[in-house]
Structure 1
């Protein structure tokens, strides 16, 4: 239990039937935007813990963007928490989906599905990305319009950034200002690049992926067709990723 501390729910927001956010007051160690920690509950015989990215920038109240998995061991418990309730939070953060891991480039593409948008909201709020890149594109794919969580906050964070592009994708209904279909198809047919007026190239583009493993795999496949490669410390490339389960 050395690295676990007790946090207290300070606020919560329900985005849809299954999506919700928790703001938690917890004395965690300073982290980098894009990193994750673990939340847990302690039953009679075991502790159930799962990793969740910080949505907040470093130094603010901890915030997490969550989806309820009915058969899950933890999210039904977290979904039932209300203001004032306690939960366990791991004090130290982890993860390498951070801007200091990204090789220098001109354009930063942030591509997420579902709650995978969380770490990218943290980066936009933290703010160093604006000095590091000339253009930033946030692409967020969901099934339904109500699942475009943090859309208003993203607009507020970027209202003075003319070189920022927000491209929502909704696959199961038509939503104003959102693209229909899937992110991977829009990469394949060039329509994503056309919408933002930027080309995905190994020279200029750096891509961070965060979402379900199938989306991550399929997107990497499409990006490789454009000459981009996974970034490794021993062999620099253009694509960094985080699988969200």
Structure 2
């Protein structure tokens, strides 16, 4: 089932990275979930999944995307302007949510959010809700990109810093150029070397840490390996652990 959404706003972060704010009658959702966008091309529907960046309760949906030159849908999305329409699934889905993170004695005190590229989207949605701040003493967002211009939603992140100065730690990682106050390593390497813990001023361990990872499959696999070496285990419903993941393609 598809419904028609109308583009309210397009934000161009750089020449390829953009966000679309869409007016659409989407059902209530949980921060971290995704919807699908689609268009008809040659009588065939082309659809792709995009995480919601906006928090629950807003009267619009917002997605963060990158225009891939030979992509089947993203170049068309990049060309949309306010007033244009796009097909949207009315119900969000997905398990990259804080509902899936253990509570109580198994929760720990610190929430680590590790993202690369557009996979920061679901974490922006979560951080705009009350839940992470109520459940955890410290919240750390590690956001890895190639270039500084690839860091989207920096003003929103700065608002989180202002609102939660004693709780929130933001660690940008830019791998292909120097970036003030940031690191230059890959996220898995930063975990293994201890650089990320040093930057955060917090240790990553099974007793105190819950880690959510969203991004490219290579980063997720390597980061999981590095975390397992630190004694953490993958979080499963039948066996609660400390590592919750979602591959972004």
**Stretches of structure 1 lacking an aligned partner (at least 5 in a row):** none
* Distance across 2 between alignment mates of 1:167 and 1:127: 21
Could you state the TM-score of these two structures normalised by the residue count of structure 2?
A: 0.96
SS at match of 1:141: strand
Alpha-carbon separation, structure 1, partners of 2:19 and 2:148: 17
Q: Does 1:180 align with 2:179?
A: no
Q: Do residues 34 (structure 1) and 38 (structure 2) align?
A: no
1:113 corresponds, among 111, 116, 126, to 116
Secondary structure of 1:20's partner? Answer: strand
* Paired positions, count: 243
Equivalent residue number for residue 74 of structure 1: 73
Aligned counterpart, 1:97: 96
Post-superposition offset of 1:158: 3.1
Contact 1:13–1:21, Cα closer than 8 Å, also in 2: yes
Which runs of 4 or more aligned residues in structure 1 lie more than 4 Å from their structure 2 counterparts after TM superposition?
none
Partner of 1:205: 209
Structure 1 vs Structure 2 CA RMSD: 0.9
Q: Is the 8 A contact 1:172 1:181 kept in 2?
A: no
Per-residue CA deviation, residues 15-57 of structure 1 (Å, 9 max, x unaligned), is: 1121000000000000000000101002242101111000000
Segments of 5+ residues of structure 2 without an aligned counterpart are none
The one-character-per-residue Cα deviations of 1:63-114 (angstroms, maximum 9, x if unpaired) are: 1000111111110110110110000000011111101110122100000000
- 1:179 partner SS: coil
2: CA distance, partners of 1:72 / 1:82: 19
Instruction: Describe how 1:217-232 pairs up with structure 2 within 5 A.
Output: 217-232=221-236
Quote the residue 1:6 is aligned against.
4
Give the TM-score, by structure 1 length: 0.97
Partner residue of 2:48? 50
